[in-house]
C-alpha cells in the first residue's frame, strides 16, 4: 500500500512538470502531500514488521513468579555461602 502513495506523488510531479500556471502549484502541493503520506505509511509498516506479538509479552503474573523464584534462588545461595564459611 505505501507504494501507491509514491506512484501518485510521482504522477502528480510529472503532471506539474508538463503543465503551467496555477495548476503547477496545486499539483506540486498534492505531490508533496502524497510523498509525506508515503513516508509515514512506509515507516509505520517498518515499525509494525519489527513489533513483537502480544503472545511473546510476559504477563504480570509470570513476572511476579519469576521475581519470587529469583529471590528464592538468591536467598538459597546466600544461606549456602554462609554455611560454608568457617
d(CA 30, CA 12): 7
Q: Are 21 and 57 in contact (CB under 8 A)?
A: no
Report the 10 Å Cβ neighbour count for 69: 10
- For the chain, the domain total comes to 1
* Helix spans in 1-86 (H): 2-18, 22-50, 60-84
Given the C-alpha cell 554455611, which residue does it identify?
83
Residues sharing a CB contact under 8 Å with residue 28, sequence separation 6 or more, in sequence order: 12, 13, 16
Domain of residue 30 covers 2-51+59-84
| 86 residues of the chain, pLDDT tens digit each | 788 988 999 999 999 999 888 999 999 999 999 999 999 999 998 888 877 776 677 888 988 999 999 999 999 888 887 777 66
Amino acid at each position: 500500500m505505501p507504494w501507491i502513495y509514491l506512484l501518485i506523488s510521482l504522477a502528480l510531479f510529472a503532471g506539474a512538470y508538463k503543465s503551467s500556471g496555477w495548476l503547477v502549484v496545486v499539483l506540486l502541493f498534492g505531490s508533496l502531500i502524497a510523498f509525506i503520506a508515503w513516508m509515514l505509511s512506509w515507516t509505520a509498516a517498518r515499525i509494525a514488521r519489527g513489533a513483537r506479538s502480544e503472545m511473546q509479552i510476559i504477563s504480570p503474573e509470570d513476572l511476579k513468579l519469576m521475581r519470587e523464584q529469583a529471590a528464592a534462588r538468591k536467598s538459597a545461595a546466600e544461606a549456602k555461602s554462609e554455611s560454608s564459611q568457617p
